[in-house]
Amino acid sequence: MIMKQLCRIFKQISFTDTLQASPRSFYTSTFKYREVVNRKEMLKSVPAVDEGAIGEKSIDVDSMIHKNVDTFPDFNTPNKLFNGVPFKNLPIFNIRVSKNNTIINLTDAKGFPKFIRSCGVEGFKNARKGTNIAAQATAVSIGTKAVENGYKTVRLTVRGLGPGRMAAIKGLQIAGLEIVSITDNTRVSWNPPRPRKQRKL
């Protein structure tokens, strides 16, 4: 754009006028007009790589509320039947997610463990344990084992932040389990420690 404007200006000014002008009147090199971009500012503007499942970042909650009236729990929820089983007696899948690993275990309604699986048990090593693919593979494995033992309808509790959150839930659905509720038990610190100083690039 700037180069086109410069070409128009050069066409309008005759050759003799340019000879009379000082040699520093015009700059034809493009780098003079390029904005100086700070590397830190540029790196901040680059979007983060999203390796989660499809739909992880955007869920239309309003449309879900309008479709189903009983979206949120109420006083009668513990006694409500799901496939003939009261909600309070449904088995619970506990998903513990961190940036380095995903641990999934199945407990009964009272909290006694039945099965436990992690990405390390499934054969993923080192940095691959923290990926969403490892979490989904682990969830499919333990979900298939649960279905074989007669578990069909389950509750979910998710704790922690990491790439395996949505992938683990998707893996349990792939295994054939019907998920009734998802509870987020991620711990929140209201007095967090002082953050590390910003990395210098």
Note the pLDDT tens digit of each residue in 138-191: 999 999 999 999 999 999 999 999 888 999 999 999 999 999 999 999 999 899
Q: Tokens for 144?
A: 């298939």
Question: Band of the pLDDT at 82, cuts 50, 70, 90?
Answer: confident
Same structural domain for residues 90 and 172?
A: yes
Same structural domain for residues 23 and 76?
A: no
Q: Is-above-0.95 flag for pTM?
A: no
pLDDT of residue 46: 57
Same structural domain for residues 22 and 73?
A: no
Q: Tokens for 145?
A: 């084992």
Same structural domain for residues 89 and 179?
A: yes
User: Count of domains in the chain?
Assistant: 2
Question: Band of the pLDDT at 79, cuts 50, 70, 90?
Answer: confident
Q: Residue 6 domain-assigned?
A: yes
Q: Residue 191 domain-assigned?
A: no
Q: Residue 112 domain-assigned?
A: yes
Note the pLDDT tens digit of each residue in 123-142: 899 889 999 999 999 999 99
Q: Residue 88 domain-assigned?
A: yes
Supply the CATH number for residue 110's domain. Answer: 3.30.420.80
Q: Which residue matches tokens 């979900």?
A: 143
Q: Residue 44 domain-assigned?
A: no
Same structural domain for residues 25 and 94?
A: no
pLDDT of residue 63: 61
pLDDT of residue 31: 45
How far is 186 from 100, CA to CA, in rounded Å? 16
The residue segments making up the domain with residue 159 are: 69-184
pLDDT of residue 37: 55
Same structural domain for residues 93 and 149?
A: yes
* Three-state SS annotation for the chain: CHHHHHHHHHHHCCHHHHHHCCCCCCCCCHHHCCCCCCHHHHHHHCCCCCCCCCCCCCCCHHHHHHHCCCCCCCCCHHHCEECCEEHHHCCEEEEEECCCCEEEEEECCCCCEEEEEECCCCCCCHHHHHCHHHHHHHHHHHHHHHHHCCCCEEEEEEECCCCCHHHHHHHHHHCCCEEEEEEECCCCCCCCCCCCCCCCC
Q: Residue 179 domain-assigned?
A: yes
Q: Residue 107 domain-assigned?
A: yes
Q: Residue 133 domain-assigned?
A: yes
How far is 105 from 112, CA to CA, in rounded Å? 10
* DSSP β-ladder status, 85-86 and 153-159: unpaired
Same structural domain for residues 78 and 150?
A: yes
